[in-house]
Structure 1
């Protein structure tokens, strides 16, 4: 073996050099590019699109229906509460009216009527209305600044009952008629009966309106659900044929319409609450009359029970929307062969 051959045999091949191997690995990695990252699992999508023009329109319809239902509930509760307060005030008081005549004679008759009432068992107090108090009572009809001396305005004695119900008003009426022919006793029973009749009529109208609003809401949801099923019929049929249960498909629509019902219900309920709150605040702002005096505005305050009824209406609308859509989907799936 020659010296050159020995040198050749002792040399290391270039490809075996560590530096060259690292450079080749980098070049290969640059050509092939970075390793692809594992894809994240996709979130399952709903059968029904979450936001469509029809969905937004149904939210508006549900909001309007909920607003009308909430206004009806709040108004009915307010009217019932006001009527109950009026009846309570009326049943605790009766009045004696003495027809106007000669001033001295009338004053004596009024005083005699008050004395007779005070001696009657069951009468807690007898108050003779002054001229100023009588003027305030007549102010809504006759206006202010009117001189009552020129008018034959009867004198009024307000009797407050003790609440035990022991006052014999029939006997008191006979006594007044015998001793003071110009006096008459009014226990407000006729007015109370009319008030009860009006209150019952208002409550009946409220119930009818709630039924109509509920029926309109249900029909709107039924048509919207059928339209959604028809729009996504191909997807529904595929799921149905591959073995998806009707309960799974119905749950998808129910979840979608529950969201719509909740959104619409909250919008309508909050709008009604804001309206009643604004009405209740008008007297304090000086826009609804004297805050210390009862007015029509102050009588439209539904109170805690009215606002609770509005909250219940919102929940009922949301649940009714979801259940109606579920039943409609079940019936529609039966038609798919």
Structure 2
């Protein structure tokens, strides 16, 4: 009874809140425990695999880009080398060789490497203050060529040899072929290592999924026998392992990208040091470019999707085995 404006009004008792149904409780309780020691270990393993995979992909991209730069630089030039011959004027031989090379179609320019430049080239091995006249040092003529319309090197070589004593022409074809072969071999090995790492990730997820199902086997079997569809159970596992896979993949991929950014920062800050000069000569500035970072992002997504797909297939196979065993037992 309540009093409203002087009148007694009867108030019906409120109905008690309905207890949550068994279905609601089941929906709020996942089949696979979201936090477990095995789950945290799997995140760590996937992070390591993703880190190594992204490093491999970045290294392959770096080698491929650097080899392409080397190939373009080498393909743009040819070298005429003249060895000292007793009684022959070296300067006249250089001028003669440059004149002959400049006559060929496809030659964009000819440059004689002078004495000072030759001394600087030999300085790292023979020291400073070198007098090249006292040593039988070959002299060079750099021939810049048109990559799209290269000159006739065979004809140039045939014309140079009788006219210039001690001359040899190097069109760098051997170096280019070796460089291309090395780059292709490196890329093939890198891709093979990447496939092996992805395979190891798949096997790890298979074992982790089977372990999770073994730990919750009685629950899964009861749900399956009372009518829970296989797709429902597989979806629960797929969601769980997709989350685990993406956590590990993002952590490992971010760490790999940070390594490349760190190397790029180090090379850009130490350009004047001998160590950085040697590293830059071999690998450029350690920048994997947009292609490398996009590739690393794709590896992250691939590992996450692969983790979810692997767990889905494993669960479906496990449930199919349960059905076969059940029918055989009847």
Residue in structure 2 matched with residue 301 of structure 1 by the alignment: 287
The alpha-carbon deviation at position 77 of structure 1 amounts to 1.1
Residue in structure 2 matched with residue 12 of structure 1 by the alignment: none
| CA distance 1:223–1:314, change in 2 (3 Å) | same
SS of residue paired to 2:28: coil
> 1:39-83 CA distances to partner (integer Å, 9 max, x unpaired)?
787662221111111111101110111111111111111111111
Residues matched between the structures, number:
313
The alpha-carbon deviation at position 335 of structure 1 amounts to 2.6
Residue in structure 2 matched with residue 14 of structure 1 by the alignment: none
Compare CA radii of gyration and give the structure with the larger one: 1
SS of residue paired to 2:108: strand
The correspondence for 2:128, drawn from 136, 142, 145, is 145
Residue in structure 1 matched with residue 201 of structure 2 by the alignment: 217
SS of residue paired to 2:89: helix
> 1:283-323 CA distances to partner (integer Å, 9 max, x unpaired)?
22127847788433535432111111111111110000000
The alpha-carbon deviation at position 110 of structure 1 amounts to 0.9
Contact 2:264 2:287 in 1 (8 A): yes
Taking the aligned partners of 1:131 and 1:307, their CA distance within structure 2 comes to 45
The alpha-carbon deviation at position 162 of structure 1 amounts to 2.4
1:74 pairs with 2:58: yes
The correspondence for 2:144, drawn from 160, 167, 171, is 160
Taking the aligned partners of 1:335 and 1:269, their CA distance within structure 2 comes to 36
Taking the aligned partners of 2:170 and 2:273, their CA distance within structure 1 comes to 30
Contact 1:276 1:302 in 2 (8 A): yes
Taking the aligned partners of 1:76 and 1:148, their CA distance within structure 2 comes to 44
TM-score (norm 2): 0.85
Residue in structure 2 matched with residue 247 of structure 1 by the alignment: 231
SS of residue paired to 2:296: helix
Taking the aligned partners of 1:137 and 1:302, their CA distance within structure 2 comes to 30
TM-score (norm 1): 0.83
1:189 pairs with 2:138: no
Residue in structure 1 matched with residue 257 of structure 2 by the alignment: 273
The correspondence for 1:235, drawn from 219, 223, 227, is 219
The alpha-carbon deviation at position 164 of structure 1 amounts to 3.4
SS of residue paired to 1:157: strand
Taking the aligned partners of 2:227 and 2:153, their CA distance within structure 1 comes to 80
Taking the aligned partners of 1:78 and 1:167, their CA distance within structure 2 comes to 31
1:312 pairs with 2:298: yes
Report matched runs for 1:52-131 at 5 Å: 52-101=36-85, 105-131=89-115
| CA distance 1:151–1:46, change in 2 (3 Å) | farther
Structure 1 runs not aligned, ≥5 long: 1-17, 26-31
Residue in structure 2 matched with residue 261 of structure 1 by the alignment: 245
Compute the RMSD of aligned alpha carbons.
3.1
SS of residue paired to 1:295: helix
